[in-house]
Chains A and B, each alone.
Chain A
Amino acid sequence: SAVISQKPSRDICQRGTSLTIQCQVDSQVTMMFWYRQQPGQSLTLIATANQGSEATYESGFVIDKFPISRPNLTFSTLTVSNMSPEDSSIYLCSVEEYQGRYEQYFGPGTRLTVT
C-alpha cells in the first residue's frame, strides 16, 4: 500500500493566519482526498483533488478558505486560510490506490490548534 506522509504533524497558529499542510505519497496516485476531523468527531470530506484539474469541494467548504494544489501525482497541499478557533481540527490526506479494486489509504494527519 501507498506510504503517505504529512507535514507538519501538528501546529499551533494564531487566528487570522494561514497554514499550508503538505501531503507526500511514495507512489503515483490519481485521486487524493482531504478530510477534516473536528475534536471528537468523525471525518468529513473537504475536497477531492485529481491531478491536472481543479479540486472539487464538498458543500460547506470553499476554495477561498481551503485552497488546494495538486502539482503532480505524488504531492498535494491544503491551505487553511484566515484561521479561526473553529478550524482547530485534524486534517487528513488520503489517496486512492488500485490493487485489483480501489482502496483508500490515509496519512497520519495534521493536528491544528488555532488560538
Chain B
Amino acid sequence: AQTVTQSQPEMSVQEAETVTLSCTYDTSESDYYLFWYKQPPSRQMILVIRQEAYKQQNATENRFSVNFQKAAKSFSLKISDSQLGDAAMYFCAYRSAPNSGYALNFGKGTSLLVTP
C-alpha cells in the first residue's frame, strides 16, 4: 500500500513571502498522480495542483508550484507571494494510475498560517 508522509504539522509564513510544504511518499508503482489539496475552515476540499508521475516538468498553477523528485519520492508545494486567503490545511495525496476507480491516499496534512 502507498503511504504519504507530511512531516510538517504546522507552518507559518508572512504575507507576500514564499513557503514550501513537504511531502514524501512510498510506492512501487511507476505510473501515478500526486496532488495538493487545500482545506480552509469551511471544510471544502479544493484541488490546488496535480502532477503526473510520467511528466518530468514540474506543475505550476499561478502562485503554486511543485518540486517533484520522482527518484527521491518527494513532492513539495511552493506557495509564492502568500496571501491571507492561503491559510488552510494542505493535504498531499497520491492516486494510483490513470484509470477509473482509484481513491486518493492522503497525508496527515500541514496547517498553514499566514501572518500580516
Contacts and interface: CB of A to CB of B under 8 A. Distances in A.
Interface stretch (A18-26, A37-45, A74-82): A37-45
The winner among B33, B45, B103 for most chain A CB atoms within 10 A is B103
B98 interface: yes
Contact of A30 (B33, B44, B100, B106): B100
Given A41-B108, A42-B106, A42-B107, A101 B95 contact: no
A87 interface: no
A92 to B, nearest CB: 7
Contacts of A45: 103-105
A104 interface: yes
Contacts, number: 56
B44 A42 contact: no
A7 interface: no
Given A94-B45, A108-B42, A109-B43, 14 more contacts: A33-B103, A42-B109, A44-B106, A45-B104, A90-B43, A92-B43, A94-B103, A101-B33, A101-B52, A102-B98, A104-B47, A104-B104, A106-B44, A106-B45
Interface of B: 33, 37, 42-45, 47, 50, 52, 91, 95, 98-109
Interface of A: 30-31, 33, 41-45, 48, 50, 90, 92, 94, 96, 98, 101-106, 108-109, 111
